[in-house]
Structure 1
Amino acid sequence: MGIAIFPKCILELADVEELDLSRNLLRKIPNFIEKFQNLMWLDLHSNQLDELPAAIGTLKNLTYLNLCNNKLTTKGLPEELTLLKNLRTLNLGLNCLETIPTTLGTLRELIELGLFDNSLTLIPKSVKKLPKLERLNVKRNPLPEFAKEDEPIDTVKRIESLYLVEKKDLCNSCLEMCQGERDELHKLEDMTPGPSNKPSFPSLITPNSTAMNNQEEWRIKDNNP
């Protein structure tokens, strides 16, 4: 049986950089969470949380926040969440969210965002256009088909390194590989779908399972024994 109340004794560890309270029965996160100013990694997945305190926004060094598999509603997400300017990974999957605040688009450092298994019917453009976002998971939401297909994340625009060489500098095996890729591309270009066919785009993140088995997808490192 997990803990149901955030233990005050944990304040003695307020200088830690990582805190894992996942797989418990926590219903509330107390305001004294603001004492953990060095915190960079916070895992609260698989609890009973239905809201977050405004004090969460004081954790300015936080880069990883896992809130997957709770009972969070849209009203339970405080506006102060957008103050986490260094946040790179945010997992809100397996909750009760009906909408996503457009203000999440201010989290400019966000690289991974999990919104799977909610009740979302729209993903704000401000969120989809986050400049560093590489992986977005919106699986198993009641999104309209056009919303699922609209504007997939353009990884070409965000490529970090591009190497261009002249054809004469390529070895024979590289030339054969490039020719094969070119042939495949021509085949795709020749396949002109009818008006009823819709293009499909692969999802960007393999979702967590029902939070127990595949949390490693979102956890930065394994639990310590």
Structure 2
Amino acid sequence: MPKRKRARGGKRINLKAAKKAIRITIDGKKRLDLSKREISSFPKCLLKLLDVVELDLSRNFIKKVPNWIEKFQDLRLLDLHSNQIKNLPGSIGHLQNLHFLNVSNNKLTEKGIPMELNQLKKLRQLNLGLNAIDVLPTSIGALKDLEQVGLFDNNLTKVPPGVLELPKLKKLNTERNPILPTKEELEAEQQEAIQRVGNLHLVNEKYLCKPCVAMCHGEKSKLNKRKSLFTNLVTPNSTSKKIKTND
């Protein structure tokens, strides 16, 4: 995917333009879509539109989420994927009605994820994929309503235990992380290797037919198989999703 060229200083969005970008959701609520506008910062005019329930600022050049994001008390969807965000403010934890949060494809690290995230008690979907996160705060385990968690394309070496214990979790994506096997997995792999070796017999390759040689090489490949490390992977941007609520 070709890189987007940033306009010098970024484009500005005034209140009139923002109002034109408002759409009505299926349940009659307001959705503000300011995606792909080459915006470099949160437009302050949004403070005049605090009644929106869905805010999409994805695919821009935003580097910072302002503390006044907490003023959107009715917000149930916040989509900030594909920006240049390094830190989320602690005030994001005040969005008590938030159901969907997408901050994938940014520049988040462990330090950029505030502990206050655990205050989002109604959060159902959380996408943190395509960032530079190596450790996930244990406070994520407090989000008991989480159903889907995206952690793909990060630097995690283990699956966060708090996430695995979420009672309503239906989908967890940890693909393309350098996750190391647990002690139990290593022991199981060792036992499997011992059993395989116990059934092997030494024979010179030249005495085998081609199908047998291919089969032996396949078995050898299985024994030597190890999980690869994926860093700096380039993948397509994630896409925003609409959610249905009972509001």
Do Structure 1 and Structure 2 share a fold, with TM-score over 0.5? Answer: yes
AA aligned to 1:37 is Q
Q: CA deviation at 1:210?
A: 2.9
| 1:220 counterpart residue number | 242
| 1:53 counterpart residue number | 89
| 1:12 counterpart residue number | 48
Contact conserved, 1:87 with 1:109, CA < 8 A, in 2?
Answer: yes
Give the aligned CA root-mean-square deviation in angstroms. Answer: 2.2
AA aligned to 1:20 is D
| Structure 2 Cα separation of the partners of residues 10 and 103 of structure 1 | 30
Task: Select which of 64, 69, 72 maps to 1:33.
Answer: 69
Secondary structure, in 3 states, of the residue corresponding to 1:195?
helix
Q: Give 1:1-225 correspondences, 5 Å limit.
A: 1=6, 2-146=38-182, 195-196=192-193, 210-212=235-237, 215=239, 219-220=241-242
AA aligned to 2:242 is I
Contact conserved, 1:68 with 1:94, CA < 8 A, in 2?
Answer: yes
| 2:212 counterpart residue number | none
AA aligned to 1:17 is V
Which of structure 1's runs of 4+ aligned residues deviate more than 4 A?
none
User: Which runs of 5 or more residues in structure 1 are unaligned?
Assistant: 151-193, 199-208
| Structure 1 Cα separation of the partners of residues 132 and 171 of structure 2 | 21
Q: CA deviation at 1:88?
A: 0.2
CA change 1:211–1:19 in 2 (3 A) is farther
Q: Give aligned pairs, total.
A: 165
Determine what percentage of the aligned residue pairs are the same residue.
Answer: 53
| Structure 2 Cα separation of the partners of residues 195 and 119 of structure 1 | 28
Superposed CA deviations along residues 179-202 of structure 1, whole A, max 9, x for unmatched, are: xxxxxxxxxxxxxxx71289xxxx
Superposed CA deviations along residues 84-135 of structure 1, whole A, max 9, x for unmatched, are: 0000000000001010111100000000000000000122222111000000
| 1:166 counterpart residue number | none
Q: CA deviation at 1:211?
A: 4.1
| Structure 1 Cα separation of the partners of residues 134 and 160 of structure 2 | 12
Contact conserved, 1:116 with 1:139, CA < 8 A, in 2?
Answer: yes
Contact conserved, 1:45 with 1:68, CA < 8 A, in 2?
Answer: yes
| 1:189 counterpart residue number | none
Give the TM-score normalised by the residue count of structure 1: 0.69
| Structure 2 Cα separation of the partners of residues 124 and 98 of structure 1 | 10
Q: CA deviation at 1:55?
A: 0.7
| Structure 2 Cα separation of the partners of residues 60 and 211 of structure 1 | 31
- Please identify the structure whose Cα radius of gyration is greater: 2
| Structure 2 Cα separation of the partners of residues 210 and 195 of structure 1 | 34
Give the TM-score normalised by the residue count of structure 2: 0.63
Secondary structure, in 3 states, of the residue corresponding to 1:28?
coil
Q: CA deviation at 1:10?
A: 1.1
| Structure 2 Cα separation of the partners of residues 123 and 102 of structure 1 | 11
Contact conserved, 1:69 with 1:210, CA < 8 A, in 2?
Answer: no
| Structure 2 Cα separation of the partners of residues 70 and 44 of structure 1 | 9
